[in-house]
Structure 1
């Protein structure tokens, strides 16, 4: 398993987390999604390296901005 962390801006509540989780779970290969509006983080667990562009597009589809954590 591979984990990839992203920083997401604009989240303020649990509904924000749910919106992002629902979109990112649709990305092929994603096994688990952990989102925290408190820390502004999104952690994606996948069976192989995840398509970062697809994850960021899913975050944008949910209405938020994200970047890959360094």
Structure 2
């Protein structure tokens, strides 16, 4: 199942790389795509993903998690 989350505050490709690194460490996240233009991260679930962990990972590196979508 595909999920996405808004990532507020990204302004460059370095930001994209930081968010990618952080979210790749969240259990269950696979096939991750972080888009600067769309200000969101989209991924598939390898196993059920705790979206609070996704939000926490984004916040921990200084960005603001926004709305989520399944």
Residue 11 of structure 1 aligns to a residue whose secondary structure is: coil
Structure 2: stretches of 5+ with no match in the other structure: none
**Root-mean-square deviation over aligned CA pairs:** 1.4
Aligned to 2:43: 44
How many residue pairs align between the two structures?
69
Deviant stretches of 4+, over 4 Å? none
d(CA) in 1 for partners of 2:62, 2:69: 19
Residue 27 of structure 1 aligns to a residue whose secondary structure is: coil
Q: Does 2:33 match 1:34?
A: yes
TM-score of the aligned structures, taking structure 2 as reference length? 0.87
Residue 12 of structure 1 aligns to a residue whose secondary structure is: coil
Aligned to 1:63: 62
Tell which deviates more after alignment, 13-22 or 38-47: 38-47
TM-score of the aligned structures, taking structure 1 as reference length? 0.87
Structure 1: stretches of 5+ with no match in the other structure: none
Q: Does 2:8 match 1:9?
A: yes
